[in-house]
Structures are given as C-alpha cells and as structure tokens.
Amino acid sequence: MAYECIEVRTEADKVGIITLARPKQLNALNDQLMTELGEALKAFDADEKIGCIILTGSEKAFAAGADIGAMAKYSFADAYKGDYITRNWEQIRSIRKPVIAAVSGYALGGGCELAMMCDFIIAADNAKFGQPEIKLGVIPGAGGTQRLPRAVGKAKAMDMALTGRMMDATEAERSGLVSRVVPLDKLMEEALGAALVISGFSQIAVMAAKESVNRAFEGTLSDGVMFERRLFHALFATQDQKEGMDAFVNKRAAVFTHQ
Ligand code: HXC
C-alpha cells in the first residue's frame, strides 16, 4: 500500500520502522495518517519475520497532537456520531508485537497519547511531552487522562492536564514516562538496538510478556498474577522454551524458531 502521511521500512528484515511524515504540520495526526498508521502496524504485526516495531517522527516533532485545523469545525454531533478524531486511535492496542516509541521533539496532546499507547518510550534529550488540550477548551481524548496518571502518578498528571505545561525528557524519565533518554543523534540507534534484542527472542514469549505486563494496568493484582502464571506455564508447551533453556544449560546461543 502506498502511504502519504507515513513512511515505512524494515531493518535487518526483523524490525518494522514507521515514521510519521507530515513534517510541515509537526506530524499533526489527521484521519488519513491514523488510518495509514493502523494499516502499517497491522501489516508488520502479521509479518512473521518482524519481531518488533518502532514508531518515530521527525527531530522537531514526534507529533504535535491531533490536527487542530481538521477538528476546529466539528460540532458535538460530528465528533460523536462519526466518532471522528478518535475512531482510528485504538488500533495500536490490538497489535500483539512490541511497539517502541522513539520520541524526539514535541509529543503533545494526541502525540503524547500515541506515544503512551506504545509499549515503551525511548526519548531523545530534546523530547517534550504534554497534554495541552485544556488550552483549546477540551481535554485529552485518546487515553491521556488514564495512561498519564498510570505512568507518572496523579500529581504530575493533574499538573500537566490542568496547566497544559510540558515535561522535558529529564523529567519524563524521572517520572517513569520514558524508559531511556539518549542524545538526539543516538535516538534511532538506541531504539533499533532495543528492537533487535527483542526480535532475537521467542516471539511467543515476547507476546506473552507484553500481554502480561499490560494486564498490570487492568484489573486486580491477584488476577494479574494468576494471568501471568498461566501464561508462564503455557510457555512450557513451546519449542522456544526447550531451545532457550537447553542453550543456557549447554552454554550456547539460543536460536528461536517462534514455535
Ligand atoms: C495542526 C499543527 C499542530 C496541530 C502544529 N501545527 N501543531 N497543525 N494541528 N496539533 C502546525 C502549525 O499550525 C504550523 O503550521 C506548523 O505546524 C508549525 O507550527 P508552529 O506553531 O509554527 O511551530 P512552533 O512555533 O515551533 O510551535 C510548536 C508547538 C505549537 C509548540 C508544538 O505548534 C503548538 O502548540 N501546537 C499545538 C499543540 C497542541 O495543542 N496539541 C494538542 C492538540 S489537541 P503553519 O501552516 O502555520 O506553518 C489533541 C487532542 C487529541 O491532540 C485527542 C485524541 C484524538
């Protein structure tokens, strides 16, 4: 499929890289971009060779939010009946392979929400995160008021949602919003390094780990622990478990076949 708002490539035949590509609009997220992003994510998810996906933007902006120009004219009826703005946004949640957000520059509003929908965020030192919707007379609409407090706690989430202020990369790492901060020119190298590590593991175990960590955010601790235990037990039915443990015992590198 030919895309206009994103660029798609693979690295080492194992990692899918999606670059948001509306640089003049600071990657403002319009309907077409979100549709294309959903298609590209689903295609990589279905590709057996791909073990991990990276989502990135430009140096200046991962994404400066949903497209304000496109939203400005909507009435409540438009937004609600057509489910405009948000209708394509949850597709990323159905992706079973890991998605790493490699964020440089602005990740604001829907851009911050999109990054938080990814499995973890690696940030460049120029990254700035924020939920400035309050300045536009609205609130976050793609999970920001739910995922941000889970990531950084209520105090900082409230501060950001109510004042619209931005958080720099250092504060984002200190608060637990991002897993790593690296110099801007090392961002893709770092993200690719992580993606290649993940791609070298059993895809089944990787998918199970993702599913299980996500469970920590929904439901109770005891349900989550039970879910994890069942998946852990189930992995003993895979060839990859035999291979991984045999390789360790025999002091050799494991070769996973994703079976
Ligand atoms: C549409 C946008 C945009 C956006 C920037 N642009 N953000 N267009 N939607 N969200 C456009 C500008 O209009 C401008 O176009 C060009 O990108 C460059 O932006 P500038 O403002 O000139 O750049 P700069 O002065 O460097 O300021 C950068 C910025 C600022 C601080 C990021 O652009 C900004 O505040 N943007 C809006 C951020 C925001 O409010 N995001 C939340 C949106 S609501 P021209 O044509 O003039 O060059 C949201 C709700 C999500 O995301 C709901 C879930 C679905």
Q: Which of 73-82, 173-182, 197-206 has the lowest mean pLDDT?
A: 73-82
Token pair belonging to 15: 């990692």
Task: Tell me the sheet residues that pair with 29.
Answer: 66
Atom of ligand 1 nearest to the CA of 136: 40
CA torsion 120-87-62-208 (nearest 10°) is 20
For residue 161, the CA-to-ligand 1 centroid distance in Å is 17
- Has residue 170 got a pLDDT over 80? yes
The DSSP bridge pattern shows strands 166-168 and 128-130 to be: antiparallel
Q: What digits encode the pLDDT tens for the residues 196-231?
A: 999 999 999 999 999 999 999 888 999 999 999 999
| Pairwise CA distance, residues 100 & 43, whole Å | 16
Check residue 62 and give left, alpha or beta (phi > 0: left; psi -120 to 50: alpha): alpha
What is the ipTM metric for this complex? 0.98
Over residues 107-129, the mean pLDDT reads: 98
Question: Is residue 124 very low, low, confident or very high in pLDDT (cuts 50, 70, 90)?
Answer: very high
Helices (H), ranges, the chain? 31-46, 68-71, 76-81, 110-117, 144-152, 154-163, 169-175, 187-199, 203-215, 221-234, 239-249
pLDDT value for 87: 82
What's this model's pTM, rounded to 2 decimal places?
0.97
User: Residue 251, Cα to own-chain centre: how many angstroms?
Assistant: 35
The reply to whether 110 belongs to the active site is: yes
90 is catalytic: no
255 alpha carbon, distance to own chain's centre: 27
Going by their DSSP bridges, the two strands 6-11 and 15-20 should be labelled as: antiparallel
pLDDT at 1: 72
> What is the mean predicted confidence (pLDDT) over 17-24?
97
Q: Which amino acid residue places its CA nearest to atom 1 of ligand 1?
A: 67
**Ligand 1 neighbour 68 (Cβ under 6 A):** yes
Q: Pocket of ligand 1, candidates 20, 25, 26: which has the most ligand atoms within 8 Å of its Cβ, to mutate? A: 26
Q: 90 falls in which pLDDT band (50, 70, 90)?
A: confident
Instruction: Quick: pLDDT tens for 56-72.
Output: 999 999 999 999 998 99
Please give the single-letter amino acid code of residue 239. Answer: Q
For residue 158 the two structure tokens come to 């409230």
Reported as a single tens digit per residue, the pLDDT across 38-57 is 999 999 999 999 999 999 99
Ligand 1 center–CA 189 separation, angstroms: 27
| CA gap 150, 28 in Å, rounded | 25
